[in-house]
C-alpha cells in the first residue's frame, strides 16, 4: 500500500460499494466545509481497475472524492491498495460499519484544544460546518460535573435548555442533584428534565429592570450574560431574585406619582387595590389614583383606579328610606348575563371616554349643545343644589367653566367660541356612563347616540375584555370574521385577540343605543313629574325667600354635583325643577 497524488475527477466509482443511498445535504455540507478548511484528513482508498482497465476505482471514500471535486481541488492524496477479488466490496462494508461517530463530549474536548491553539469559535464553526451556537453549546460542557459528562459521552445528552440550566449551576449544586437522579442499574438512562428542574433558578432579566446601574451596584446585583439570547436585545440576567425585587421596589418608591401607591399582588399575580376602589380601564383623569406593582417577572406595572366619593348625610329622610328598604321584596337570582359585571364596568369606562372625546372634538351644532346640557343635568348622577345648608361638591368644578363667560364687571361677556368651549367642558364634567353611582343613566346613551360617540370607542378585541364574555357571546363575536369557535373557550378567545389585533371590534352592548323599554319608562316617569309642579314650587319657596341668593355669581359658586342612589333619580329631577323655578 503506497500513497500517490491523483486528479479526483479521474477516479471511478465502485459499483460494489456498500453505501448506495444518497447522503444527506447537511452531511455533505459539513464535509465540504472541513475539506475547504483543512483539506482531506484521511486519504481515500483506491485500487487498480480489474478486467483489463488501466484506471483506478474507489474502494473507500466516495463522499471525500465528490466533496474534493466540489471544493475545486485539482489533486488529492490517495492510498493505493492491491486489487481485491471481490472488487473491494468487503473493504467498503467494513469501512462504513466499523466507523463510530465522535460523541459530543469528545467534540467539546477537541474544540477546547482548538481554542487553546488560537482558533476562534467562528473559525471552528466554518471549518466543521457547525453553527456558532452549536460550538457555544458544546463549550457549556466545561461547567458540567465529570460524572454527568461520562453519562453524556454514552450518547445520553440533555437538550439545549436543560444543558444551559445544568451548566449555570455550581459544582456543589450539581453534586447534590446528581445523587438523586443519577442512572440506576436497571435504568441506564437519565431523566435530564428532572436534573434541570432540580437546578432551575428564577432568572430576573435586565431588560425588565426599571432601576439604573448605580442602584444595581448598591444591591450587589451582578449581571450574567445569556449566550443563547437573540443578538438584538439585552440578554443579561441575575438569579439574585431578592436583590432584583428590592431594587425595583426602591425605584418605585422614588418615582411614585402624586396620587400613586405601591400595591401588593395576589398569588396569581393580580394587583390588590384598596377596599372599595374601582379599576379604571379607560383614560385616567387627574383625580384618579395609580397603583404600581411588580408582576411575576419582576416588571413594574401600573393600573389606574378611582375611589368613591364620600357620601353626603341625608338626615331623617335617608333613615326612613333605609327602614323602608327592609320591606322590599326579595329579588330572585337572574340567569348569567353575556357580559360580567367587570365587563360592564369596562364598557362604562370605554363609553365615558368616547363620550368625552366626542364632546370635545366632534362637530356639534349650537342648539344640540344646549339640548345636551339640559340632558346632562337630568342625569341620575346629578343633583343641583344651592342656598343655605347645601353641601357644595361640584361648585368649584362648574365655576371654572362659568368664569370664562363672565366679565370683570360681573356681567356675561363671551364670544361664540368661548361659549362652545365652556359648554363642551361642562358636558364632559357631567355626563358619564360608568357602572357606579356616577352613571347618568339613559341620558348618557341618548347623548352619545346624538353626537356619534360610538366612533370614538376603542378596540375591545383584547384579552382583558373578551375574558368577560360568556361562551355564547364569545362565539357570537366570531360572526362576520374568519375565526371559527374552538372546543375550548380560551382557544376561541386567543384566536379572536389575534384577529382583532389588526381590526377593530366593538361589542354590541357598548354601542350608544338607548334601550327602548328603559327609554319609555324614563320618559313616562319624567312626564309624570310635571304633575308635581305645585309641590316643586313650594319646595323652591323653602329653599330661599331672598331672590338675591340666586344671582348669577352666587349660583355659579354654590352649584354642586352630589352622588345619589339610583332610586333617588326622580327626586333629583324634582330638586332641579325646584331650583330652576326659584331662580326665575
Q: Which of 78, 97, 116 is the last residue of a domain?
A: 97
Q: Could you tell me what percent of the chain has a pLDDT over 90?
A: 12
530 with 430, same domain: the answer is: yes
Sign of torsion over alpha carbons 292, 293, 297, 298: positive
**pLDDT (tens digit, 9 = 90+) per residue, 26-43?**
778 888 888 888 888 788
Torsion, CA 170, CA 174, CA 176, CA 177, rounded to 10: 130
Within a domain: 139: no
**Residue 64: domain span:** 2-97
Identify the residue whose cell numbers are 361638591: 393
Question: HEC profile for 63-128?
Answer: HHHHHHHHCCCCCEEEEEECCCCCCCHHHHHHHHHCCCCCCHHHHHHHHHHHHHCCCCHHHHHHHH
431 with 378, same domain: the answer is: yes
**pLDDT (tens digit, 9 = 90+) per residue, 249-295?**
999 999 999 889 999 988 888 889 998 888 988 888 888 999 999 99
407 with 513, same domain: the answer is: yes
523 with 480, same domain: the answer is: no
User: Is 377 in contact with 576 (CB distance < 8 Å)?
Assistant: yes
Within a domain: 524: yes
* Strand 260-262 versus strand 289-294 pairing type: parallel
Q: What is the pTM of this model?
A: 0.43
559 with 434, same domain: the answer is: yes
Is residue 209 pLDDT above 90, yes or no?
yes
429 with 535, same domain: the answer is: yes
pLDDT for position 374 = 65
Q: Which residues contact 454 (CB under 8 A, 6 or more apart)?
A: 354, 448, 506, 510, 511, 512
User: Is 59 in contact with 92 (CB distance < 8 Å)?
Assistant: yes
Three-state secondary-structure class, residue 131: coil
Query: Average pLDDT for residues 105-122, to the nearest whole number?
Result: 86
Beta-bridge mates of residue 57: 12, 47
439 with 532, same domain: the answer is: yes
Question: Poorest-confidence range of 58-62, 370-374, 448-452, 562-566?
Answer: 562-566
Within a domain: 156: no
402 with 534, same domain: the answer is: yes
301 with 397, same domain: the answer is: no
Is residue 550 pLDDT above 70, yes or no?
no
Q: Which of 505, 532, 566 is the last residue of a domain?
A: 505
Within a domain: 394: yes
CATH of the domain at 35: 3.90.1530.10
- Mean of the per-residue pLDDT values of the chain: 77
Q: Which residues contact 43 (CB under 8 A, 6 or more apart)?
A: 3, 61, 76, 77, 78, 79
Return the percent helix, strand and coil in the chain, to nearest 5: 50, 10, 40
Within a domain: 327: no
**pLDDT (tens digit, 9 = 90+) per residue, 318-376?**
554 555 445 555 555 567 788 888 888 888 899 899 989 898 889 988 867 876 776 67
Highest mean pLDDT out of 220-229, 420-429, 470-479: 470-479
Q: Which residues contact 157 (CB under 8 A, 6 or more apart)?
A: 104, 163, 192
Within a domain: 91: yes
451 with 362, same domain: the answer is: yes
Q: Which three cell numbers stand for residue 377?
A: 343635568
Plot region of 401 (φ>0 → left; ψ -120 to 50 → alpha; else → beta): alpha
Is residue 541 pLDDT above 60, yes or no?
no
**pLDDT (tens digit, 9 = 90+) per residue, 457-478?**
999 989 889 989 998 888 888 8
406 with 527, same domain: the answer is: yes
**pLDDT (tens digit, 9 = 90+) per residue, 461-520?**
898 899 899 988 888 888 888 888 888 888 899 989 888 887 788 898 888 888 888 888
pLDDT for position 289 = 92
Within a domain: 370: yes
Torsion, CA 426, CA 430, CA 431, CA 435, rounded to 10: 150
Query: Average pLDDT for residues 176-204, to the nearest whole number?
Result: 85
Within a domain: 389: yes
**Nearest Cα to Cα of residue 104 among 187, 160, 65:** 160
355 with 406, same domain: the answer is: yes
pLDDT band at 443 (very low <50, low <70, confident <90, very high): confident
End-to-end Cα separation, the chain, in angstroms:
125
In the chain, the number of structural domains is: 4
Amino acid at each position: 500500500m503506497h500513497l500517490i497524488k491523483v486528479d479526483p475527477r479521474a477516479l471511478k466509482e465502485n459499483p460494489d460499494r456498500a453505501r448506495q443511498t444518497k447522503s444527506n445535504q447537511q452531511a455533505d455540507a459539513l464535509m465540504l466545509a472541513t475539506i475547504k478548511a483543512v483539506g482531506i484528513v484521511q486519504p481515500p482508498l483506491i485500487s487498480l481497475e480489474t478486467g483489463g482497465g488501466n484506471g483506478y476505482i474507489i474502494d473507500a471514500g466516495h463522499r471525500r472524492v465528490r466533496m474534493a471535486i466540489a471544493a475545486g481541488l485539482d489533486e488529492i492524496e490517495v492510498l493505493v491498495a492491491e486489487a481485491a477479488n471481490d472488487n473491494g466490496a468487503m473493504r467498503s462494508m467494513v469501512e462504513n460499519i466499523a466507523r463510530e461517530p465522535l460523541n459530543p463530549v469528545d467534540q467539546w474536548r477537541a474544540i477546547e484544544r482548538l481554542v487553546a491553539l488560537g482558533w476562534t469559535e467562528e473559525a471552528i464553526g466554518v471549518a466543521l460546518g457547525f453553527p456558532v451556537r452549536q460550538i457555544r453549546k458544546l463549550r457549556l460542557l466545561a461547567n458540567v460535573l465529570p460524572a454527568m459528562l461520562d453519562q453524556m459521552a454514552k450518547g445520553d445528552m440533555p437538550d439545549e435548555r436543560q444543558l444551559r440550566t445544568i451548566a449555570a449551576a455550581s459544582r456543589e449544586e450539581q453534586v447534590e442533584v446528581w445523587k438523586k437522579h443519577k442512572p440506576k442499574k436497571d435504568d441506564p438512562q437519565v431523566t435530564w428534565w428532572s436534573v434541570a428542574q432540580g437546578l432551575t433558578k428564577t432568572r430576573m432579566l435586565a431588560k425588565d429592570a426599571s432601576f439604573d446601574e448605580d442602584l444595581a451596584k448598591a444591591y450587589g446585583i451582578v449581571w450574567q450574560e445569556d449566550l443563547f439570547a437573540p443578538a438584538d436585545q439585552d440578554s443579561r440576567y441575575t438569579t439574585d431574585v431578592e436583590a432584583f425585587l428590592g431594587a425595583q421596589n426602591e425605584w418605585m418608591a422614588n418615582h411614585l406619582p402624586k396620587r400613586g401607591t405601591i400595591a401588593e399582588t395576589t398569588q396569581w399575580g393580580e394587583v390588590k387595590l384598596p377596599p372599595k376602589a374601582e379599576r379604571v380601564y379607560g383614560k385616567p383623569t387627574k383625580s384618579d389614583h395609580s397603583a404600581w406593582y411588580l408582576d411575576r417577572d419582576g416588571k413594574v406595572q401600573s393600573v389606574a383606579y378611582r375611589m368613591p366619593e364620600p357620601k353626603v348625610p341625608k338626615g331623617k329622610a335617608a333613615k326612613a328610606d333605609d327602614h323602608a328598604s327592609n320591606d322590599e321584596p326579595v329579588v330572585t337570582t337572574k340567569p348569567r348575563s353575556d357580559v360580567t359585571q367587570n365587563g360592564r364596568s369596562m364598557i362604562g369606562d370605554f363609553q365615558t371616554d368616547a363620550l368625552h372625546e366626542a364632546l370635545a372634538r366632534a362637530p356639534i351644532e349650537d342648539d344640540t349643545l344646549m339640548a345636551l346640557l339640559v340632558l346632562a343635568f337630568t342625569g341620575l348622577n346629578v343633583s343641583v343644589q344651592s342656598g343655605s345648608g347645601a353641601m357644595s361638591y361640584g361648585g368649584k368644578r362648574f365655576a371654572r367653566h362659568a368664569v370664562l363667560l363672565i366679565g370683570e364687571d360681573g356681567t356675561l361677556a363671551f364670544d361664540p367660541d368661548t361659549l362652545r368651549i365652556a359648554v363642551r367642558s361642562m358636558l364632559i364634567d357631567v355626563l358619564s356612563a360608568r357602572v357606579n353611582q356616577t352613571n347618568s343613566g339613559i341620558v348618557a346613551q341618548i347623548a352619545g347616540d346624538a353626537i356619534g360617540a360610538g366612533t370614538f370607542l376603542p378596540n375591545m378585541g383584547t384579552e382583558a375584555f373578551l375574558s368577560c364574555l360568556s361562551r355564547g357571546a364569545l362565539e357570537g363575536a366570531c360572526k362576520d370574521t374568519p375565526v371559527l369557535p374552538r372546543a375550548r373557550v380560551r382557544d376561541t378567545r386567543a384566536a379572536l385577540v389575534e384577529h382583532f389585533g389588526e381590526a377593530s371590534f366593538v361589542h354590541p352592548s357598548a354601542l350608544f343605543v338607548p334601550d327602548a323599554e328603559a327609554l319609555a319608562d324614563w320618559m313616562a316617569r319624567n312626564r309624570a313629574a310635571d304633575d308635581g309642579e305645585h309641590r316643586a314650587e313650594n319646595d323652591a319657596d323653602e329653599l330661599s325667600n331672598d331672590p338675591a341668593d340666586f344671582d348669577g355669581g352666587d349660583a355659579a359658586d354654590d352649584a354642586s354635583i352630589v352622588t345619589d342612589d339610583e332610586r333617588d333619580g326622580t327626586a333629583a329631577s324634582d330638586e332641579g325643577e325646584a331650583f330652576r323655578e326659584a331662580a326665575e
